[in-house]
Amino acid sequence: MSERDPYAHLKENAWRESDALDARLALSGHGRPFTDVAGHVAANRALVEQRLEALQAELQQGPRTAYELAQAVYGDRFTDVTVNWLLSKTLCYLTHLERRGLARRGGDSPERWS
């Protein structure tokens, strides 16, 4: 499959680099600066793993579109304001699971995942 795996790229590159840098201050582009860089990275890793597990559980319920899966995984956080961001994240996670043989896409339009 020629498609890239954005989650694997994050995991193998950005997170590895953050560990190697031993940074003590992060200047967030969308928030206040923070000093517990390692704690933020660890929390982000844990949250992504939770999302992957939740998505795998939802996939067991039968074939659904990425949109339907994002709604199920994110619940009330899936709104008109967040739909683009959360759907993009869901598609990244689905691609990652597909690459690992844990998800499968099918159908023409709309594409359904199982």
Determine the pLDDT at residue 3.
56
Write down the pTM of the prediction: 0.83
Query: Is pLDDT of 104 > 70?
Result: yes
Contact predicate 37/18, CB 8 Å: yes
Going from N- to C-terminal start, the domains of the chain cover 6-113
Determine the pLDDT at residue 20.
72
For every residue of 61-108, DSSP letters joined together read T--B-HHHHHHHHHGGG--TTTHHHHHHHHHHHHHHHHHTTS--EE-S
Q: Give the model confidence (pLDDT) of 6-65 as tens digits.
A: 777 777 776 677 777 788 888 888 889 989 888 888 888 899 999 999 999 999 999 999
Measured over all CA atoms, what is the biggest interatomic distance in the chain, rounded to whole angstroms? 48
